[in-house]
Structure 1
Amino acid sequence: MPRAVREQQLLELAERLFIESGYGAFSIEDLCREAGVSRPIIYDHFGSRDGLYLACLRRVRAEFENTLINAARDAPDAEAAIRQGADAFFTIIERDPRRWSLVYGGLSELGGTLADQIYELRTDTIDRISAITTRFAPHADREAVTAHAHAVSGAGEQMGRWWLHNPDIPRERIVDHFCTFARMSFLQLPMAEPDLTAGSVPAS
């Protein structure tokens, strides 16, 4: 079996086992039995259990984020981008809540290098939200744009957790709640201070 095909097969199986067992109870031996391979093959592809877990997160996050970015890419204005992206985000939760929880549920027991690497995955998401924001607010203060992206990302994750515990709320209302917050945050973005030296004339 080609290496890339084997890798995807292992990731699909590992993802299911992480969802079913959780990170703490996940076993490389269980994955070996499911895939019909030996431990050295798993380690050759991913290096360790942590490496396998990160590979699963990267795979799912990339799929989710591409869905969100594509949903907002052709929006004519900021409000449409917020709503289209929000609708895509909460549709993902509605369609596959356990898979979403694998990526965004949070694992308080993780620490050290693994926690740092998971944080880096989240900063990639922040960068993508910042890029969309900058498209509609090109003169906004850069630091404020980054803070806005963190706030919007965090609000989406927390609202997703809340919704999973209150599934009787229609998705349309969840999207409305999120858009209200994100819109107000966007509208409050301060503009960058002008560079007063850019057009100055040298003294004679």
Structure 2
Amino acid sequence: MSSAQAPDQPRKRMPRAEREKQILGVAERVFANAGYQSTSMDEIAAEVGLSKPMLYEYFGSKEGLLLACLQRCKRELLEATSHAAAAAEGPEQLLYDCLLAFFRFSDDHGQAWALLRNEFSLPDASVNTELESIRIQQRDFTAGLLGNIRSDLDDEQLEAFAESIIGACERLALWREQRPEVTAEKATEHLMSLMAPSLAAGL
């Protein structure tokens, strides 16, 4: 090597948290596009630029990697709806903004939403348990919002209303995949129109 050539610089090691974030981003996209069953750890490792043993060192198994993706979706969805709730003024705006945040989440995080809605292709019990925990999280969050709007409702009624709203949001989000002209705002308006009579006592 001539004196004019610089010695090879050692590659900087990526911090673990940053590497995990990178892996989850790739895995979420691959799982969403190809489906859980059709995805291999070899494929994800190759896209990330890691060996498969190193990928297993981070998440243990393909199931563990999928669960980590779902847990990130769960955090991000709660963050989105909580942020909307914190900024709202008045009960009607509170509910509207939180519904809108859900529909925007399905738009802005299409790969995460694809993981959440493809539960029938995920037969593993622990995966389905994690999916259900996401619904329960949002149900409890929604019940808390409704309690601020309708103080006359008991806990059972609040939970029943919240379950209905979560189910309606999921179905509308799926419907919008076939009706791309329906914006997140329009979907929110449709749902508010449906719920307004039941919530009139608090609005």
TM bracket, shorter-chain basis: 0.7 to 0.9
Question: Once structures 1 and 2 are overlaid, which stretch shifts more, 10-19 or 80-89?
Answer: 80-89
Query: Separation in 1 of the partners of 2:60 and 2:198?
Result: 41
- One-letter code of the match for 1:156? C
Indicate whether 1:172 and 2:149 are aligned.
no
Alpha-carbon distance change, 26 to 186 in structure 1, aligned in 2, over 3 angstroms: farther
Alpha-carbon distance change, 3 to 170 in structure 1, aligned in 2, over 3 angstroms: closer
Q: Give the corresponding residue for 2:142.
A: 129
Q: How does 1:21-40 map to 2 (within 5 A)?
A: 21-40=34-53
Alpha-carbon distance change, 47 to 173 in structure 1, aligned in 2, over 3 angstroms: same
Query: Separation in 2 of the partners of 1:98 and 1:4?
Result: 21
**2:196 paired residue among 183, 191, 200:** 183
The alpha-carbon deviation at position 152 of structure 1 amounts to 0.7
The alpha-carbon deviation at position 155 of structure 1 amounts to 0.5
Q: Give the corresponding residue for 1:194.
A: none
Query: Separation in 1 of the partners of 2:126 and 2:108?
Result: 32
Q: Give the corresponding residue for 2:10.
A: none
1:13-64 deviations in Å (ceiling 9; x for gaps): 1111112211121111111111222233222222221111111112123213
Q: How does 1:83-162 map to 2 (within 5 A)?
A: 83-162=96-175
Q: Give the corresponding residue for 2:27.
A: 14
**1:61 paired residue among 74, 78, 81:** 74
Alpha-carbon distance change, 123 to 11 in structure 1, aligned in 2, over 3 angstroms: same
Q: Give the corresponding residue for 1:73.
A: 86
Query: Separation in 2 of the partners of 1:91 and 1:113?
Result: 28
- One-letter code of the match for 1:166? R
- One-letter code of the match for 2:97? Q
- Output the TM-score relative to the length of structure 1: 0.81
Equivalent position SS for 1:25 = coil
Equivalent position SS for 1:20 = helix
* Structure 2 residues without counterparts, runs of 5 or longer: 1-13
* CA RMSD in angstroms, aligned pairs only: 2.3
Contact kept, 8 Å, 1:71 with 1:88, in 2: the verdict is: yes
Equivalent position SS for 2:35 = helix
**1:48 paired residue among 61, 83, 105:** 61
- Output the TM-score relative to the length of structure 2: 0.81
Equivalent position SS for 2:56 = helix
* Structure 1 residues without counterparts, runs of 5 or longer: 190-204
Alpha-carbon distance change, 96 to 2 in structure 1, aligned in 2, over 3 angstroms: closer
